[in-house]
Amino acid sequence: MTMYDYAQQSKFADKIKQMHAAETNGSELYFVLIYLAREKGLHDLAEAMLQNACEDALHGGMYGAMLGKGKEQEDELWQQVVRLYKLEAAAQDKLHMLADEIRAAGEGALADCVESTIVEENTHAQRLKDVFEKHGIAY
């Protein structure tokens, strides 16, 4: 039995919505704190929070699926992930343009931070591309 969209029909739908919000908001806060902890050299704290953030994000994903978010059917799931891939693959040019705009306004440090994400965005796209090719998914 799938849990996809199950909570929408449940008398606990409101509770599941609250849990979804708590987990996704909590994971976002963890990620903010991870960034700040790394800036301060607190890498052990950052690593502990990273594990918590990922698990909380997955909990949020579970509750989201129970609420009908995402796509249940495999072909629709692949299509949705291909759309995410396209966003990841296009990020480099968009981030460079944004950084150029920010830098032109005299905020070089902010532009450098924006550009620092490009390598990881490209890695995100490559990870998905590798899986697509393994499964024969057109992208």
What is the block-wise mean pLDDT of the chain (139 residues), using blocks of 10 residues?
A: 92 98 98 98 98 98 97 95 98 98 98 98 98 98
Tell me if residue 136 falls in helix, strand or coil. Answer: coil
Q: How many CB atoms within 10 Å of residue 65?
A: 19
Separation of alpha carbons 95 and 59, rounded Å: 30
pLDDT at 61: 97
Domain hosting 117: range is 74-135
Above pLDDT 70, what percent of the chain?
A: 100
Burial 101-111 (b: 16+ CB within 10 A, else e): ebbeeeeeeeb
pLDDT at 1: 80
Mean pLDDT across the chain, nearest whole number?
97
Q: Are residues 30 and 49 in the same domain?
A: yes
Domain stop point among 16, 50, 66:
66
pTM of the model: 0.86
Q: Are residues 58 and 79 in the same domain?
A: no
CA dihedral sign, ordered 6, 128, 135, 81 = positive
pLDDT at 95: 98
Q: What is the DSSP letter of 73?
A: S
Closest CA to 58 of 91, 83, 30, 90: 30
Q: Are residues 46 and 84 in the same domain?
A: no
Q: Are residues 60 and 81 in the same domain?
A: no
pLDDT at 25: 98
